Amino acid sequence: VPRVASVWQSVIPKAFRKPDDPVSVAEREKARAMKSKDWNPATFFIVIALLIGSNAIQMIALRNERQGFTRKTEAKIALLRETIERVHRGEDVDVERVLGTGVPEKEQEWEEVMQELESDNTLWKKK
């Protein structure tokens, strides 16, 4: 039986074995006592700073996205306004070419701009 027990003792890693000698028991107790320290007071401030920084980055990203949206819609509205003014003045304007009718990419851009403007208007009306 001692031979079988020694085989099992060598198979199980030292970290999972229960120590037999008093020195290793004392070392384990000392290590356990060192692990159960109080929190560092700076931990709270570090976590709060990380959260605030993350939110600041999100706000910057949202602002940049909003500026891009505004530039894009203003450019499309300016193009539309210019085309309408030229038609009112009686100039010969190829409206389909200017507005991109027949070109799937340009039509998709106009559709996206119109949908974004409609959704933006509904948001402002709710407020």
What total number of domains does the chain contain? 2
3 state SS for 108-123: HHHHHHHHHHHHHHHH
pLDDT at 3: 62
25 and 58, same domain (yes or no): no
Question: What's the residue count for the chain?
Answer: 127
Task: List the domain range (segments joined by +) for residue 10.
Answer: 1-37
106 and 60, same domain (yes or no): yes
- DSSP letters spanning 40-57: PTHHHHHHHHHHHHHHHH
44 and 90, same domain (yes or no): yes
pLDDT at 115 over 80: yes
114 and 56, same domain (yes or no): yes
* Residue 62 burial by Cβ neighbours in a 10 Å radius (0-12, 13-18, 19+): exposed
pLDDT tens digits for range 49-77: 999 999 999 999 999 998 998 898 889 88
Q: Around Cβ 117, how many Cβ atoms within 10 Å? A: 14
pLDDT at 70: 87
